[in-house]
Every structure is written in C-alpha cells, then in structure tokens.
Amino acid sequence: MLDKKVMHVMRKGAFTCTEDATLKDVAQIMTINNIRYCVVVNDQHEILGVISARSILRGFGKDHEQATAGNILLPYTVTIGPNTPVEEAVDLMSRKKIEHLIVIPDRPGARAILGMLHVEEIVEKMASGWESEKK
C-alpha cells in the first residue's frame, strides 16, 4: 500500500453546487447521490468550500429554501494531487482531522476538481487486503 498513489483510491469527479444554491438543493444533491460532501464552486469552477452533511445541520431551523450554500460552507483549502502517495494523504487527513481531500491536478495554479479522496475508500482498500496486492 505504501507505493499506491491518491489516483488509485480517489473517487473521480465530485458533486458540486454554486454558492447561491439553496440548502434544500444541496440536501437533495447529497441525498439523491448518497454522498456526505458537496464542493461549493464559483462561476469559474474555483473551490470556495465544502458542505458536509454535518454542516447542513447548521442550517437547521433556517428557511432551507432561502438560506444558501454560501451561508454555511466550510472554507476549504486542503487539496492534494493525484500523484501524492496515499501514505501522505492519510497523514494529512490525520493532522487536519478531516475525512476527505479534494484532488486537483499537480500542476501549479490548477483549480479543476479531479476527484475526492475519502477515508471510506482507504478503509475499504485496507479491508479488502490492499496490502497483499502485487506492487
């Protein structure tokens, strides 16, 4: 597993919304797609933040058809490249106490979202015997 790269484990693509999406819209995106995170982007598709299922709860009691993603997003700047070793990604997640990383291209200035790396993928690989796979 030590020689595996983020690209071998990440989920390709990401579910996104704009900062003016309503909480109802975001909740529907997350429910329909059975996901726990939605990446909030601006009109240029630059990452503004992330909304997690937990952060949706911060909108509880607000008018979920009027409150927007921009009101509750968690500013998010922790990204990782696809060629980063999984070991480094796990260390970063542990240090930052987060459960996911947004994967962007390795080239400087790149902002396109290639995918997401979730702890679930890493745990699944560990459970399936990833360490016993040929290197």
Residue 12 has which token pair?
């390709």
Kindly report, residue by residue over 4-23, the tens digit of the pLDDT: 899 999 999 999 999 999 99
Ordered by start, the domain boundaries in the chain are: 6-132
Tell me the pTM: 0.81
Reduce the DSSP state of residue 30 to 3 states and report it. helix
Query: What does each C-alpha distance from 105 to 110, 113, 120 come to in angstroms?
Result: 6, 8, 22
Report the CATH number of the 6-132 domain.
3.10.580.10
What pLDDT, in 10s, does the model give residues 54-95? 888 877 777 667 789 998 898 867 899 999 999 999 999 999
- How many Cα atoms are found within 13 Å in the side-chain-facing hemisphere of 134? 0
Query: Which residues contact residue 133 at a Cβ distance below 8 angstroms, ignoring those fewer than 6 apart?
Result: 1
What are the backbone dihedrals phi and psi of residue 115, each rounded to the nearest 5 degrees, phi first? 175, -170
CA distance 53 to 30: 8
Percent of the chain with pLDDT over 90: 48
